[in-house]
Structures are given as structure tokens and as C-alpha cells.
Amino acid sequence: MIVTTLAIVGTGLIGGSFALALKQAGAVGEVLGVGRTPQSLARAQALGLIDRAVDWAEAGRADCILLALPVGETAAVLARLAPHLKPGAIVTDAGSTKANVVEAARTALGARAADFVPGHPIAGSEQSGPAAARADLYRGRKVVLTPQADTRADALATVRALWEAAGAQVETLDAALHDRVFAAVSHLPHLAAFALVDDLAQRADSEVFFRFAASGFRDFTRIAGSSPEMWRDIALANRDALATELDAYLGALQTLRQAVADGDAATLLEIFSRARAAREQWTMDS
Amino acid sequence: MIVTTLAIVGTGLIGGSFALALKQAGAVGEVLGVGRTPQSLARAQALGLIDRAVDWAEAGRADCILLALPVGETAAVLARLAPHLKPGAIVTDAGSTKANVVEAARTALGARAADFVPGHPIAGSEQSGPAAARADLYRGRKVVLTPQADTRADALATVRALWEAAGAQVETLDAALHDRVFAAVSHLPHLAAFALVDDLAQRADSEVFFRFAASGFRDFTRIAGSSPEMWRDIALANRDALATELDAYLGALQTLRQAVADGDAATLLEIFSRARAAREQWTMDS
């Protein structure tokens, strides 16, 4: 057993799957849940994700507390939790952005920010909510931790051990680099998919466009089926890095647009060939 | 039987699958093949896609000739075929763009352009070549025909019957509208996927970006694994419509970029919500 008591704030897909995996691995004793509504907590308990629902005071007495909520709520939740944290309690999160979470932890926790281990599991599903939770969600998936200079080494080791017990492969990254990387490989593609679908949907003759959209379109826009609220929050939480990445992408698209308009076959072939080679290399490596 | 003799120019995935499906359906008698090299034709014959390889003169004596080649080669192939076309022979194609193919047919075939039925099967695979051909490639897939005002009605009916025998659902569309629609729902997403992968691949620290790319990135960029040569040809063949669509898309991305930079939560939520709703509707309809 890695921790005796684990509290999950937000018992949906991410938090619920973490709890299930750790219970199955025998890595936790009791799992406590804090949620938005008594109904959602009752559902999480009925599904076996948590042993019982608790208030902030009791959550603060857990050995480890995982925040699994929209990143925009991190600051408010940490502020509610802070007065109740027992000595030695470890707090961690599962948010998609990290620099803003680190800042929220510094503000809300003060000196206790050393007990906070920022984390980001690279796993998910189009489905959400407690019913979507599964014990194997993190198996073989990457989890990025972005410890700060003052993060307690034993807190980091415990959070790492928990994710590994859930089957994940843990890597550490600088928080700012994390945000740059995920702006480019995750946040930007989501915005680009939303933008294409919305651009078509707003046309008077949108029906004919959607009628002939096929498998390439389906894959390219699959992530436009994601939660609008969650992606609004992520876009705002990572706005600086995301704006920088959008500028780079707009530049790349402008280059292609110019090559198309100029009938510049060589430039088109060069870009397409380099992209395909890079993607093939990535597919082999990953 | 719909036609006694079918000639396939280009016996790869698209042409080979058409031949296999029609043979299986008993819709054709003999299938002749014209190809770039004796080797590829021998392979197509060994795989049972064609009954025998022929020259242009014999291909021109078939009842129906399908061009299944890169769109950029259509004009040259039609010019070679034109002198050999027997009276009443029907010519059709499977190219991804149509306005340029229609123009090529008018130039190469003159008055015989009425025997040409422009077509575009909405089916494919990352794989290509004769070995990738399968009899069920077109089953349940859409095929768009873009007949002109002077297209022979019986030629259109025959080509429609052939595709239906192959299991496809045939629709007709104006050629210019076809090109606009496919610029938006197919060609642009390909360019957008190539652009993202290439933008990342060119960075000095590209390794860290690819290391954390996950399923959203994989789906968004899947089409960047497509043939660079084929997509160069399509981009050039449809350059006007594609440049127009790229401008619209750049505008949509600029709007999002501005909303991100401004922290404009309402605009982000509005766009993401509209996009998700439209995509859900599309998924239900298709």
C-alpha cells in the first residue's frame, strides 16, 4: 500500500479511473470523494469509485489528495482545501495545463506549495463522468509531472509511485515546456478542428459540405466532439503558449496557401514529404 | 452484364477495386489493363484484377474505360487514348478534382467529350497499389458524378449502373460545387495536417513535441500519412477552390487566436459549442 487514505476531488472519468486503478492494485486503503453535488458523489460511490463522500475538512486529512477537475477551478478548490490540510498531506492534480496550476498552488498554499505535485495524465476519452471511469485508463499511458525547485522529494516520489501503480509511465518536464508542448500537440489541434467544423457549419449551404465529408474529415475533426467548456478552460489557462503556437501554425498555413496560389509544386511536395516522413517516424517510435 | 469489355487505366487500389467489384457482381465480361510498367500490369493480372494487359489501341476498343490515376495525368492519358476510341465507347475517371478533368476532356476529346463522365469515388485507404485492391472498397460509399450539359445520357446511366453494381451510392453534383466541397472537407484538412506535422518536425527540439503527442494528435494528423505526390497533384488541380477555402480557414483560426489572446471566454465557448453540435449532427446523419 502506497497511501492509506486517498481523497479524490472530482470523481469523474479522470479521478474515478485513478481511484479504480489504485484500488485494483492494492495501492490505497480508503478512497474518499469530494464532488460538486451529492448526486454525483452517490453515483461515484454506487459505481465503487469511492468508499464514501466527505467534506473539505475530512478530505484535508487524507494522505494524498488528487484534484481531477477543469483547470479553471484549481485555484478556488485549493483555497477551500488549504485550511484543512494535515501536516505531510500531499496534493496533486490532473490538469491539462501546468504553469497556471503551479501559480494557483503558490497563491493558495503558500509555504505548503512544496507539498503540491503538479501532474497531467495523457489519457482521456470522449466520454466523461463517473460512469466512464475504468481501472485500465492509464495502463501504458504517459503521465507528466512538473515538480518545482521546492517540491518535496518524498511527495514527488509518492505521486510517481501512485501513477506507476495505476499502470502509467511517469515523466517529468519543466512546467513551461509542458505547456508549450501541449499547446502544440493537443490544444492547437483541438482549436483547429473546432474552427474547421464551425466554419463549415456557419455556411448557408453547409448541408452539401457535411454530406460529402468522409473518413479523413471524421478523423481530423474527431476532437471537435470534445467538451466545449473543458476546452474553453484549457485555452484560457494556456493562452500565452497557445497564442504563440497558433501564430506558428498560421504562418505554416500561409506558406502552404501561397504555394497553392502560386502553383508551386516543389514547395508543396517538400512540405508534404517532410511531414509524412516525420509522422511515419513518430508512429514507429510511439 | 452492364458492359462486355472494361478497360482500366491505372490498376492500383482505385482501379483494381473497381475491377474486382464488377467482376464479383457479374457486371463486366473481360477486364483489360493499361499501366505504367509491364511489371505493375503483370502484378495486377496475377492478383486477378485484370484479365490481360493491352495497349492504348486495344483499350480504346473497350465499351467503357476508367481512368484511375493521379489527376495531374488525366490530360496526357486522354490525349493518348483519344485517337483509338471506338464509336460509342464511354470514358470515365476517378479523380479527386473535377473542373480540371472536365477541361482536360474537352481539350483532348473535342466532340467526343460528350462520351466522358467525370466521376469521383469517395473511398480510399492509406494503402495503395494493386495489392491493396479489394472488391468491397466501394460498398456503401458515395461516388460523385459531375455530368456536363452535353454528357450523353446513356453514358451517364451506364457509369452510374457500374458504380451501383460495385455497391456504391451515386450522387451527381455540379463540377465547380464538387471542387468547392472537396476543397473544404478533404483537401484543406490534408494540408492542415501536413502543415502541423511539418511545423513541429522543423523545430530544433521537435523530439519533445512528438514524444508527448497522443491520440488526439494521431487522429488529427492521420491524413498527413497520405501520398505527398498525390496531394501535391490534388492541391494544384484544385488550386483556386483550395486557396479560397484556406483563406476562410485562416480567418476562422485568426478569430480563435484573437479570442485566446484576449481571454474572450464567451467567443471560445460559442465557437466550440457550435462546432460540437454540428459535428454531432453530422455523425448522426452520416
pLDDT tens digits along B237-251: 999 999 999 999 999
User: With 80 as the cut, is the pLDDT of residue A125 above it?
Assistant: no
Chain B residues touching A261 at Cβ < 8 A: 239, 243
pLDDT (0 to 100) of residue B127: 75
**Which of B71, B146, B170, B282 has the highest number of chain A CBs within 10 A, making it the mutation to test binding with A?**
B282
ipTM beyond cut 0.85: yes
C-alpha cell at A170: 511517469
Mean pLDDT within A69-82: 94
Whether A257 and B268 lie within 8 Å, measured CB to CB: no
Q: Cα(B44)–Cα(B52) distance, rounded to whole angstroms?
A: 9
Report the pLDDT averaged over residues A129-134. 93
**Chain B CB within 8 Å of residue A190 CB:** yes
Distance between CA atoms of B19 and A147, rounded to whole angstroms?
60
Between B200, B208, B276, which is nearest A225 by CB? B276
Chain A, chain B: beta-carbon pairs less than 8 Å apart: 278
Interval B254-279: pLDDT, tens: 999 999 999 999 999 999 999 999 99
Is A126 in CB contact (< 8 Å) with chain B? no
Is B116 at the interface with chain A, CB within 8 A? no
3-state secondary structure (DSSP) of residue A152 = coil
Residues of B in contact with A284 (CB under 8 A): none
> pLDDT value at position A103?
97
A46 touches chain B (CB under 8 A): no
Contact B260 A236 (CB under 8 A): yes
Interface probe with B: pick from A146, A200, A246, A258, most Cβ of B within 10 Å: A200
The H-assigned helical ranges of A38-187 are 38-46, 56-59, 74-81, 99-109, 153-165, 175-182
| 8 A C-beta contact, residue A15 and residue A68 | yes
Q: Is the pLDDT of residue A205 over 80?
A: yes
In chain A, % of residues over pLDDT 70: 99
Task: Determine the distance in angstroms separating the CA of B68 from the nearest CA of chain A, rounded to an integer.
Answer: 19
pLDDT at residue number A90: 98
Check residue A128 and give its pLDDT.
81
Residue with cell 521546492: A150
What pTM did the predictor assign? 0.91
Q: Share the mean pLDDT of chain A.
A: 96
Whether A210 sits inside 8 A of B285 (CB atoms) is yes
| Long-range contacts of the stretch A256-260 (C-beta < 8 A, 24+) | A256/B191, A256/B194, A256/B195, A256/B246, A257/B243, A257/B246, A257/B247, A257/B250, A259/B235, A260/B191, A260/B235, A260/B236, A260/B239, A260/B242, A260/B243, A260/B246
pLDDT at A7 over 90: yes
For chain B, positions 228-267, list CB contacts with chain A under 8 A: 228-229, 231-232, 235-236, 239, 242-243, 246-257, 259-261, 263, 265
Domains of chain B: 3-173 (3.40.50.720), 177-285 (1.10.3660.10)
CA distance A205 to chain B (A): 10
Residue that is written with C-alpha cell 494528423 in the block? B221
Give A-chain residues touching B227 at CB under 8 angstroms: 276
Please give the Cα distance from B231 to B126 (Å, whole number): 12
Residue A284 contacts B, CB cutoff 8 Å: no
Distance from CA of B142 to the nearest CA of A (A): 8
Of all residues in chain A, the one with the smallest CA distance to B224 is A276
Q: Give A 167-186 residues with CB within 8 A of chain B.
A: 173, 177, 181-182, 184-186
User: Are B208 and A275 a contacting pair at CB < 8 A?
Assistant: no
Confidence of residue A286 (pLDDT cuts 50, 70, 90): confident
Instruction: Note the pLDDT tens digit of each residue in B160-219.
Output: 999 999 999 999 999 999 999 999 999 999 999 999 999 999 999 999 999 999 999 999
Which residues of chain B have a CB within 8 Å of the CB of A123? 214
> Binning pLDDT at 50, 70 and 90, where does residue B57 land?
very high
> What pLDDT digit, counting tens, does each position of B107-142 carry?
999 999 999 999 999 997 767 889 999 999 999 999
Contacts of A280 in chain B (CB under 8 A): 225
More confident residue, A21 or A285: A21
Nearest residue in chain A measured CA to CA from B197: A275
Q: Which of B98, B190, B196, B264 to mutate to test the interface with A (most CBs of A within 10 A)?
A: B196
pLDDT digits (tens, 9 = 90+) for A262-279: 999 999 999 999 999 999
Q: Please, are residues B216 and A190 in contact by the beta-carbon 8 Å criterion? A: yes
Query: Can you give the pLDDT at residue A6?
Result: 98
Provide the 10 A C-beta neighbour count for residue A205.
Answer: 10
Of A141, A217, A286, the CB nearest to B186: A217
CA distance A31 to chain B (A): 29
Average pLDDT for chain B: 96
Q: Which three cell numbers stand for residue A61?
A: 486529512
User: Which pLDDT belongs to residue A126?
Assistant: 66
Interface test with A, best of B180, B188, B199 (most A CBs within 10 A): B199
Burial class (CB in 10 A: 0-12, 13-18, 19+), B277: middle
